[in-house]
Each structure stands twice: as C-alpha cells, then as structure tokens.
C-alpha cells in the first residue's frame, strides 16, 4: 500500500504513513498492530520448538518432588527470566532453587564445575535461562550423571552445528520443524513463554487459573526489563511485551521491584516517567551492576524472596554497586582510549579491530567499555582484563553491523580457551601469551571482511519535516 493510502486507511498524518512504509509496514493491518500493540496478539508458547517436551518434563518434576535448579545468566535478561520461572514453580509448590554463575570467577554460561556441585547438592532437573545452547561439555556431564537438562536460550549455536544433549527451547533452533514467528525473542522472553507454557501444563488447559493469570500479567514488567536491556528489535511480539510491561512496571506489587524503582528515583511523588529510557538507563544498569561488580544472585533475590527491609537493603546495595561501576567504567575507558591512540601512533595506522588489555581492568565492566570504544571509533572492540594477575585474559567484545563477532571469534578459536557470542556482542578467555597473535589474527580476518566504508558512521535520514508537520500531536506520535 502506498504511504498516502496507508495514512488515509489508518487516519494518521501522511508523514507517519511514509515512515511506516519505509519500515516495511505497508500493510494496513500490520501497521495498525504496530501502532496499537495488543496483548492478545502474543504468539502461543507452544509454537516454540520442543516446548511441549520441556513442560512435560518440568511438570513431572513438580509432581514427583524432584529438585529443580534454575541456572540463569548474570545479566538483566537472565536475572528477570530466572525470577519469572522461580515464581511460576513456587506457585506450584515445586522444590526449586536458582544458581547464577559469578561473572569473573566462572564466566558466561554453564560450567562443568558448577554443574557437578549442583548435582552433588541433589539437583535432578536443570533448567537454563539465557544460556546453554552451546554448553555441550557441561550438559553432557549432567546427562552422564542422570540429570536432565532443559535449555531456554536465544543466543547463537556453535558453528560446528553440534547441539548439547538437552531439550532445547529456542526461537531459532536449527533444523526444527517449528519456525517461531519472532526470531528476535530475548532470553527473558523465552523464559516468559516457558513460564506461560508450564502454567498451562500444570493447569491442564490453555486458560490458566487466576493465580497463574495474575503472575503472567505481572511478569510483563520483568520480561520488558529484559527485552529493553538486551536491545532486541522492538517490533511485533517484543513491542507488545514492552508496551504492556511498562504499564505493569508502574503498578508492580513485587516488593523488590518497587524498592528498585524507588531507589532509582522513580515512583512515589516523582514526576519522572517509567518509560523505555528509564528502564534502559536507570533500572537495567542497577540490576546489571550486581553481576558486574559483585554477584548477580543479589539481584535475583531482590526479584524473588526479598520483602520489606531486605528489599530496601538490596536496592540500596545495587545503587551503590552501580555508582562504583560508573566510576570504574570511566577510568577504564580513559585507559583503553589512551592505549588505542598510542598504538595508532606507533604503527602509523588504526587497527580495524581494536583490542585493549590492562591488568587493572575490572572483568565485570569490560563489555560496557567495549561499547564505549565502538561508539568512539566505530570499529569492533575487544576489552580484556587480567583477574588476580593470572596468566589469562578475560574479555568482552562489541561490534559494528558489518562485522559478525561470533564468526570472528570462531576464526581465532585456536588461540582461545573459550569464547562465543552473537553478531554484535561476544567474549572469551585466552592465555596472556596469545594477546599479540590474537590482535594480529583478528585484524587479518577483518581485512578480508571489511572495507574503509564500513568505518564511516552514517546518519540515516527518513525524510523532511516541514513546518506544517511541527504540531504537538504529530511530534507526540513520532
């Protein structure tokens, strides 16, 4: 449909019709759904691959009193996803516990030592949140010790094509007969769908009982936190979850979430709006600060068991951790920029892939500093720390649209102890002795994939705003 016809059909200004068509929303029904997202248009959780098998196994564990451990990632996506599944299973009086790895000591995802410890403590079913789809060794260990594993994740699978021996619930599962309509569902979104499907299985009907209905509506606030924090496209189902999640966030009765909102300066008599900016730049960084500067289990506790004074204490602790993170980030970013500028002067050219490493770098903040370097230089960036003076480097990377990080990491995997990620973000661990070769090999790979044009920051212009378009109504709609 042409922009003018779309605008007339939807009774919106022509400028908005033009912008919708530019964004691929030329169909009137699709455009109407975009402008007015509705909760009823969420996709059925059963459409996710292996969802029925996953919920059948979880329901069986609930009925039999088996110990279920939720193994979540340490970012907002994993924290909120873990909290949703914990509340879902607790409502069924399940024997459920949670585990979040330490970012510095254990690194991202499942590790065999943690799995061994959980099995020794009696875990009979392991459910991952926002991790696990590449954890072949730890999951193989669990299966060898008669522990079933359900993976709920949204990250990239290993380039080898090998999948872990688990029930995998993933919106982009390779070779699946089921194609989920929203490939951009974040980890918290997958966990939300799993919680919804568990509720249906336990209620033995698609229409869940009042307890679970209340929980699922409340979960919109948590899944919205993860969706915004993970920077997935806010279209389709993600847009619905964020719209309703923001509404639920403002009226949440979760004591920990209320304490977090208050500590960040929102709610009460505050006139500050709880919008996407508030989530992305105030609430999410505070939840992330727990895993970056300390341990993310405090953030999980805040959203699960904390009430009253304990909730306020934890929210204040996250506030303090976030301030510490900000100061550490500024200092690290200055050091990294100095390194890059000195190297550029020394070699009389600029690396295509930036690599900064320093013993003083805090392992929990390297990802944020990598993002700052990408913003500054518009080049892929790796920032590496050296915890405890050991001979290993731990790092995170961020990228530009034309350079897929997970493929670059695969290209230098022989230099790494571990590593992975997706197109725009990744990380890994490598021996300090490999640093120079790592930088050289990354840049050699980049020279094959990138051109100078890829480093030119562009500003896409959608159209011209005429004076007649500058009305409060149109600006609000924009």
* pLDDT above 90: residue 460: no
CA trace torsion 172, 409, 339, 454 (10° rounding): -60
Alpha helices (runs of H) in 145-186, residue ranges in sequence order: none
Q: What is the pTM of this model?
A: 0.90
179 falls in which pLDDT band (50, 70, 90)?
confident
Query: Does residue 451 or residue 458 have the better pLDDT?
Result: 451
Query: Does residue 231 or residue 185 have the better pLDDT?
Result: 185
C-alpha torsion sign, points 223, 229, 230, 231: positive
From 221, 251, 281, the end of a domain falls on 251
Tell me the pLDDT tens digit for each residue of 367-381.
999 999 999 999 999
- Show Cβ contacts of residue 197 under 8 Å, excluding neighbours closer than 6 positions: 45, 46, 48, 51, 52, 54, 55
389 falls in which pLDDT band (50, 70, 90)?
low
- Percent of the chain clearing pLDDT 70 (strictly above): 99
Q: 236 and 121, same structural domain?
A: yes
**What is the DSSP track for 243-287?**
HHHHHHHHT---HHHHHHHHHTT-STT-----SHHHIIIIIHHHH
State the average pLDDT over residues 464-476.
Answer: 86
- Is residue 313 one of the residues assigned to a domain? no
Domain containing 420 equals 350-455
Tell me the pLDDT tens digit for each residue of 104-114.
788 888 999 99
Output phi, psi for 102, to 5 deg: -80, 125
pLDDT of residue 204: 95
State the average pLDDT over residues 34-49.
Answer: 95
- Is residue 268 one of the residues assigned to a domain? no
User: What phi-psi label fits residue 247: left (phi over 0), alpha (psi between -120 and 50 degrees) or beta?
Assistant: alpha
pLDDT of residue 90: 98
pLDDT of residue 464: 82
pLDDT of residue 388: 66
Q: 221 and 94, same structural domain?
A: yes
State the average pLDDT over residues 415-425.
Answer: 86
- Is residue 294 one of the residues assigned to a domain? no
Cβ count within 10 A of residue 58: 28
pLDDT of residue 402: 93
From 199, 222, 251, the end of a domain falls on 251
Spatial separation of the C-alpha atoms in residues 186 and 76, rounded to whole Å:
11
Q: 367 and 245, same structural domain?
A: no
How many structural domains compose the chain?
Answer: 2
- Is residue 1 one of the residues assigned to a domain? no
Q: 231 and 91, same structural domain?
A: yes
477 falls in which pLDDT band (50, 70, 90)?
confident
* pLDDT above 80: residue 268: no
Output phi, psi for 337, to 5 deg: -65, -40
From 251, 266, 296, the end of a domain falls on 251
463 falls in which pLDDT band (50, 70, 90)?
confident
- Show Cβ contacts of residue 349 under 8 Å, excluding neighbours closer than 6 positions: none
Give the length of the chain. 478
- Show Cβ contacts of residue 146 under 8 Å, excluding neighbours closer than 6 positions: none
Instruction: Return mean pLDDT, the chain.
Output: 93
459 falls in which pLDDT band (50, 70, 90)?
confident
End-to-end CA distance of the chain: 20
- Is residue 389 one of the residues assigned to a domain? yes
* pLDDT above 90: residue 123: yes
Q: 241 and 368, same structural domain?
A: no
| Contact in structure between 186 and 148 (CB atoms under 8 Å) | no
175 falls in which pLDDT band (50, 70, 90)?
confident
Strand pairing report for 125-129 and 67-72: parallel
Q: 76 and 191, same structural domain?
A: yes
474 falls in which pLDDT band (50, 70, 90)?
confident
Q: Which CATH number is 110's domain given?
A: 3.90.1640.30
Q: Which CATH number is 383's domain given?
A: 3.10.310.30
| Contact in structure between 77 and 103 (CB atoms under 8 Å) | no
State the average pLDDT over residues 126-131.
Answer: 97
- Show Cβ contacts of residue 189 under 8 Å, excluding neighbours closer than 6 positions: 154, 182, 223, 226, 227, 232, 237, 238, 241
Q: 213 and 87, same structural domain?
A: yes
Tell me the pLDDT tens digit for each residue of 61-120.
999 999 999 999 999 999 999 999 999 999 999 999 999 999 878 888 899 999 999 999
| Contact in structure between 9 and 1 (CB atoms under 8 Å) | yes
Tell me the pLDDT tens digit for each residue of 185-211.
999 999 999 999 999 999 999 999 999
- Is residue 393 one of the residues assigned to a domain? yes
- Is residue 169 one of the residues assigned to a domain? yes
- Is residue 258 one of the residues assigned to a domain? no
């Amino acid at each position: 449909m042409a922009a003018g016809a779309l605008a007339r059909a939807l009774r919106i200004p022509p400028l908005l019709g033009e912008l919708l068509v530019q964004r691929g929303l030329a169909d009137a029904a699709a455009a109407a759904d975009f402008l007015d997202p509705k909760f009823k248009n969420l996709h059925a959780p059963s459409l996710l691959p292996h969802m029925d098998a996953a919920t059948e196994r979880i329901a069986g564990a609930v009925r039999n009193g088996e110990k279920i451990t939720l193994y979540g990632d340490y970012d907002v996506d994993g924290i909120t996803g873990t909290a949703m599944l914990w509340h879902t299973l607790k409502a069924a009086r399940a024997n459920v516990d949670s585990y979040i790895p330490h970012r510095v000591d254990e690194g991202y995802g499942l590790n065999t030592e943690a799995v061994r410890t959980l099995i020794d403590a009696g875990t009979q079913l392991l459910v991952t949140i926002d991790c696990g789809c590449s954890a072949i060794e730890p999951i193989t260990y669990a299966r060898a010790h008669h522990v079933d594993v359900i993976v709920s994740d949204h990250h990239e699978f290993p380039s080898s094509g090998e999948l872990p021996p688990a029930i995998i619930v993933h919106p982009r599962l390779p070779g699946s007969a089921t194609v989920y309509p929203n490939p951009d569902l974040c980890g918290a979104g997958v966990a939300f769908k799993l919680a919804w499907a568990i509720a249906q299985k336990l209620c033995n009907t698609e229409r869940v009982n009042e307890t679970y209905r209340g929980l699922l509506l409340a979960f919109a606030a948590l899944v919205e936190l993860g969706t915004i924090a993970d920077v997935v496209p806010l279209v389709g189902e993600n847009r619905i979850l964020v719209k309703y999640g923001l509404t639920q966030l403002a009226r949440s009765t979760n004591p920990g979430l209320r304490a977090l909102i208050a500590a960040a300066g929102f709610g009460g008599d505050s006139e500050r709006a709880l919008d996407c900016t508030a989530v992305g730049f105030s609430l999410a960084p505070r939840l992330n600060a727990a895993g970056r500067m300390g341990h993310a289990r405090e953030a999980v506790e805040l959203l699960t068991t904390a009430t009253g004074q304990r909730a306020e204490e934890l929210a204040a602790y996250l506030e303090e951790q976030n301030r510490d993170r900000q100061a550490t980030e500024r200092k690290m970013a200055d050091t990294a920029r100095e390194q890059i500028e000195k190297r550029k002067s020394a070699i009389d050219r600029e690396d295509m892939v930036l690599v900064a490493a320093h013993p003083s770098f805090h392992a929990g903040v390297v990802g944020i500093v990598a993002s700052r370097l990408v913003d500054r230089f518009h080049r892929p960036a790796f920032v590496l720390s050296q915890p405890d003076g050991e001979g290993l480097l731990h790092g995170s990377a961020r990228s530009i649209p034309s350079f897929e990080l997970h493929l670059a990491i695969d290209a230098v995997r022989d230099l790494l102890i571990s590593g992975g990620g997706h197109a725009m973000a990744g990380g890994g661990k490598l021996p300090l002795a490999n640093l120079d070769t790592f930088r050289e090999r990354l840049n050699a790979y980049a020279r094959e994939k990138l051109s100078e044009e890829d480093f030119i920051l562009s500003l896409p212009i959608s159209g011209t705003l005429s004076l007649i378009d500058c009305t409060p109504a149109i600006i609000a709609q924009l």
